[in-house]
Structure 1
Amino acid sequence: MSLHTLKAIVFDLDNTLVSSNINFTLLRQQLNCPQDCDLLMHLEQFGDQEQQRLSNIIRDHEIQDAAASSLMPGAKELIHWLTQQGYFIGVITRNCRSAATTKILAHQLPIESLLTREEFAPKPAPDSLYHLMNKWQLNPQEILYVGDHYYDIETAINANCQSCFISNGLSESNAPSQANFSYPTLLGLLNSLKVC
């Protein structure tokens, strides 16, 4: 795996490019979702009407969170540099489109392609990365997927792309062992790309 081959960088959104402080304990209580169950998968067991009601609860939490978000360390600098260098830039998020768009516009991030759970199966399904590969006419190894969660690394692996884990300053031992690259913040990735 090598950063030299990259032509596109695709990011997770929450706690990768911008902060997120959703109270997942409260959200799980409101959805009656067990701790060990994925929130979006939890919804799939219900009929359409109940699924929509629960989905609206998640959406309300996401939209409230979007209004209070801030940039993660290095996000502005990295996106600016990638834009200058001519990389394709995308975001794949499990967020709803409304909340994701609010965050991207609020922080003036020039993201060319935004894909949410409303367009494609949510991560770790690789569908959204496949879409970007086709759109940009790139092979998997020319794309790096960057995120702060093991779902992000799984998504990259499932699409055969390169992966980068951002630990947000937490112990590097938290990094999934399958990640091709790992940095405390986005500035670490930026510095590595600059010397390629």
Structure 2
Amino acid sequence: MNLEGIKGVIFDLDGTLVESSLDFSSMRETIGCPQNEDILMFVDAIECEKAKSDAHNIILQHEIEDAQNAKWLNIGRAMVEKAQQHKLPMAIVTRNCREATAIKLANNDIPIDYVLTREDAPAKPDPTALLMVASTWQLQPEDCLYVGDFIYDQQAAENAGMQWLLV
């Protein structure tokens, strides 16, 4: 991870800092979401409030179960330690719910306090959460590095005008 010129590092959570065994195919099947559609966008578009609530609860249940077993990824720990050595501010922006995120952070003693979940801002690839972090740090987006493991992470960083690293 090249930190030359970087003034702040934002990490994705699942697949970047911690392992995740979320079975999105199973979740999509359970709630009737086509396999090629974004699951969060699909649920948000459900018009029936009860059906929408039920779908959210199914996703939440899967996330909480996954959170109990999530462990640090070696590469994730190494990247956080490198950012700490450079005394850079760090944040996490995740599509996870707040509750599952808190469990993952606590169970693994992840030393990052600034965390935005899908309850705090629109989910990636929307750049809002990344721009919120840069604004809070009073940094220009191009001075921040976003590190993630999925195409949405790359798209969010590009949409925000940030540098990005796909791991």
TM-superposed CA distance for 1:77, in Å, is 2.9
* SS of structure 1 residue aligned to 2:74: coil
CA distance in 1, matches of 2:113, 2:69: 23
* SS of structure 2 residue aligned to 1:119: coil
| Cα displacement string for residues 126-148 of structure 1 (whole angstroms, at most 9, x for unaligned residues) | 11011111100000111000011
* SS of structure 2 residue aligned to 1:35: coil
- The code of the aligned residue for 2:99 comes to S
Within 5 Å, give how 1:1-196 maps onto structure 2.
Answer: 3-46=3-46, 47-166=48-167
TM-superposed CA distance for 1:115, in Å, is 0.4
Q: Is the 8 A contact 1:5 1:141 kept in 2?
A: no
Aligned identity (percent) is: 36
| Cα displacement string for residues 93-150 of structure 1 (whole angstroms, at most 9, x for unaligned residues) | 0000000111011110111310000110000001101111110000011100001101
Unpaired runs of 5+ residues, structure 2, are none
Unpaired runs of 5+ residues, structure 1, are 167-196
* SS of structure 2 residue aligned to 1:122: coil
What is the aligned length? 165
TM-superposed CA distance for 1:85, in Å, is 2.3
Q: Is the 8 A contact 1:10 1:144 kept in 2?
A: yes
- The code of the aligned residue for 2:152 comes to Y
| Cα displacement string for residues 33-74 of structure 1 (whole angstroms, at most 9, x for unaligned residues) | 101110001112223322111001000000000011111122
* SS of structure 1 residue aligned to 2:146: strand
CA distance in 2, matches of 1:101, 1:49: 26
CA distance in 1, matches of 2:82, 2:44: 40
CA distance in 1, matches of 2:22, 2:77: 22
CA distance in 1, matches of 2:152, 2:88: 24
- The code of the aligned residue for 1:89 comes to M
TM-superposed CA distance for 1:164, in Å, is 0.4
- The code of the aligned residue for 2:77 comes to K
* SS of structure 2 residue aligned to 1:4: coil
Q: Is the 8 A contact 1:88 1:112 kept in 2?
A: no
TM-score w.r.t. length of structure 2: 0.94
- The code of the aligned residue for 2:32 comes to N
Instruction: Indicate the RMSD between aligned Cα atoms, in angstroms.
Output: 1.2
* SS of structure 1 residue aligned to 2:56: helix
